[in-house]
Chain A
Amino acid sequence: MELKVLGPAKPAAGGCAKGSCGSTADQMAHLPEAIRDRVKNHPCYSEEAHHHYARMHVAVAPACNIQCNYCNRKYDCANESRPGVVSELLTPDQAVRKTLAVAAAIPQMSVLGIAGPGDPLANPARTFETFRQLSETAPDIKLCVSTNGLSVPEHVDELVRHNIDHVTITINCVDPEVGARIYPWIFWKNRRIRGRKAAEILIEQQQRGLEMLVARGVLVKVNSVMIPGVNDEHLPEVSRVVKEKGAFLHNVMPLIAEAEHGTYYGVMGQRGPTQAELTALQDACGDMNMMRHCRQCRADAVGLLGEDRGQEFTMARIDAMAIDYAAAMERRAAIHAAIEAAREDGRAQQAAMTAPAAVPAGTRPVLIAVASAGQGLVNQHFGHAREFLVYEAGPAGVRFVGHRKTDQYCVGSSTCGDAGTALERTIRALAGCEVVLCSKIGIEPWGALEAAGIQPNGEHAMEPVEAAAAAVYREMFEAGALDAAPAAQIA
């Protein structure tokens, strides 16, 4: 099958042999054109696309057929942003109306996904009815599904029939011993099965489902939740196995576990990984194509990946909207064409600005945080940023390594209880970054950032992110700032 395309990537100029390494623009470069074409406007499958295109999830799938230790089925909150959480459950008809309304209001929208709040394939009638209607009424919108994998084999034909081009399977393990510590039970062949036996069945179904989808030409992304002490050391093996079977992208996400979420891991005190642990594991996952821009969004999220505009599109509001669907589709086509043209320009500009790397190999890399509201540009005011994109600039180029949220009500137990201001929390979230690029910044945060050893920089406003990061890195090199170790930061 043509889709087994992941290996062996040509070593990037500069020496790193990892297919996942190098600048983010190059990340997809080793994929065949046919696949790049299929993911180029999918924000969840292409790091570059997520600056430009929006997605939404419709919550039509409340039932689940397994229990995961990081999930609490009782949870439902408007202020929480994480998988499995929704505010308003929809019928398929409502979901279709909502999708068409959002796609009319946000013409950057390219993707509609069903991801819960339970498992889409444990709700086949509601899930496929939604897909069936949408493939008729909004044929330009890509449909995708995110599943735990237990029921993939029995639904492969139907997924293909509805033109579901992208499927995400959450695979946290390929070893039942590990699985028994993640999944307390599954519902299988009309029984609740527990323990190691449950994990064995789930793993077998996931792997079979992955193989069947790949054989049918569906693009499969694998999500894994990194759970320190449970599956962290095991995930490189998972990455190797799923790559071998034809998954084209691996997304390792950090465990989210707080006692107040009421999950097994949260209540029992299981910790999530640190950013450094997550990055190290992503780097350790061989030459699998790694995804690092996941925002772990809600099962009813709406908008660009870094934002959630779900509150603007409650069913009450949608029912009050008058929408010309045909006109909306034309407008989407025009906007998408404009985005593609702008991306082409951006790439040219990027290439021109980053081309001659004047920094010698061996020079230490620098983490650069960027405030961006989209389009791949440094175009957001520091104070408006609810998250920062983090890039690592080095002699070989600039690569995207992750994002840091600033609007979390709690950024970890070490900070709990102290009355840190929003600015202090943001500075803590930026720990390890030496520069923050933004379009503008106030005097007070400027001083506070400098005092904390992070250099604010507003001189690259409206420039493409990677080109700006490369320019700053060159400036730092020329100023001799890379000769010494980074300045000590005050956290």
Chain B
Amino acid sequence: MAYSITSLCVNCFACMDVCPSRAIAEAKPHFVVDARTCTHCEGDYADAQCASICPVEGAILDPDGLAANPPGSLTGIPPERLLALAACSPA
């Protein structure tokens, strides 16, 4: 398995610019990782570059399919706080 991008992606190009394998492409509705080209950055960097620069929690999944940046890990906003806000705002 490779890294992958979810629908939470905001199409900011950051991951594409830093990917050492050029495995990430602009696409609709959001950027995609080419699973055959992705190397997990092994041999290039200690950390997967896409997961290290992505600003959106949950937008990048690691090879196990888990969020590389789980809720709260980037913004510092406690996830329960976000849930509470979502619950009281009109959809």
Q: Do A and B come together as binding partners? A: yes
Contacts of B89 in A (CB 8 A): 260
Residue of A nearest to B20 (CB): A190
Contact at B17–A63, with CB atoms within 8 Å? yes
Chain A facing B: main interface SS = loop
Residue of A nearest to B17 (CB): A63
Contact at A264–B75, with CB atoms within 8 Å? yes
Contact at A267–B55, with CB atoms within 8 Å? no
B16 CB to nearest A CB, Å = 8
**In this assembly, does B49 line the interface, its C-beta being within 8 Å of a C-beta of chain A?**
yes
Contact residues on A (Cβ < 8 Å of other chain), bracket = 20 to 34
Contact at B12–A63, with CB atoms within 8 Å? yes
Q: How far is the CA of A69 from the CA of B76 in the complex (A)?
A: 9
Contacts of B55 in A (CB 8 A): 64, 67, 73
**In this assembly, does A187 line the interface, its C-beta being within 8 Å of a C-beta of chain B?**
yes
**In this assembly, does A107 line the interface, its C-beta being within 8 Å of a C-beta of chain B?**
no
Contact of B76 among A64, A65, A184, A262 (CB under 8 A): A184
Contact at A62–B11, with CB atoms within 8 Å? yes
Q: How far is the CA of A42 from the CA of B82 in the complex (A)?
A: 41
Contact residues on B (Cβ < 8 Å of other chain), bracket = 20 to 34
Q: Give chain B interface residues in 1-34, CB to chain A under 8 Å.
A: 10-14, 17-18
Q: Knowing A73-B10, A268-B77 touch, does A192 contact B56 (C-beta < 8 A)?
A: no
Contact at B47–A190, with CB atoms within 8 Å? yes
A255 CB to nearest B CB, Å = 16
B73 CB to nearest A CB, Å = 9
**In this assembly, does A164 line the interface, its C-beta being within 8 Å of a C-beta of chain B?**
no
Chain A interface residues toward B at CB < 8 A: 62-65, 67, 69, 72-74, 76, 89, 118, 122-123, 125-126, 184-185, 187, 190-192, 259-260, 262-264, 267-268
Q: 13 A-B residue contacts at CB 8 Å?
A: A63-B53, A65-B14, A69-B76, A73-B55, A73-B56, A89-B11, A118-B12, A187-B14, A187-B18, A190-B46, A262-B82, A264-B77, A267-B85
Beyond A62-B13, A64-B12, A267-B81, 7 additional contacts (C-beta under 8 Å) are A63-B53, A64-B14, A126-B13, A187-B52, A191-B45, A192-B47, A267-B85
